[in-house]
Amino acid sequence: MAVILVRHPETVDPRVIAGQRDVAVAPHALAAIDSRAASLPPVQHIVSSDLSRCRILAEALAAQRGMACTYDPRWREQSFGVWDGKRWDEVDGREYLEQWTTATPPGGESIDEVQRRVAAALADVAPDGGDHTLVVTHAGPIRCALAIARGLSIEDAFAVPIPFGSWRSL
């Protein structure tokens, strides 16, 4: 499989549970978009989460390379439901965090649901082992894709650090 997964640039307040809300990219990350895009490997296709923090990098990359990009909401971050847009210190997430592999945030989606939609999206970008496709997405979907492609447990995949702007190859 030749899929490159890139995490979006840093957001204005990384302590916020952004989930599936559109949140702004930090000014210093915006200033580095062109250099980040130029540092990524050559690809034949660009796919992005439809959330603006991903689109901004995907569109810069597409413009630099004279390519189009497509948007797929299946590459969105996990929905944390009523917690989206709040900070962890503003919610009582202890019970969820203790059982995050099987629990569902209030009004949100479980990690199993995220993994299923990422598996479907991954199958679409790499149906036969894939050509070189770059996906701009979020830390949760990247870790789910790592679990799927590398046969990792979800706990092991979520132990992999995925800094803002970093990428992993499948």
pLDDT of residue 142: 98
Dist. CA 120–CA 143, nearest whole Å? 15
- In the block, residue with structure tokens 């894709």: 145
At 37, is the pLDDT very low, low, confident or very high (cuts 50, 70, 90)? confident
User: For the chain, which domains are there?
Assistant: 3-169 (3.40.50.1240)
- Catalytic site positions: 8, 77
pLDDT of residue 40: 86
Model confidence at 168: pLDDT above 90: yes
Model confidence at 136: pLDDT above 70: yes
Model confidence at 50: pLDDT above 60: yes
pLDDT of residue 156: 97
Dist. CA 111–CA 2, nearest whole Å? 24
**pLDDT tens across 79-131, in order?**
999 999 999 899 988 889 899 999 999 999 999 999 999 999 999 997 665 57
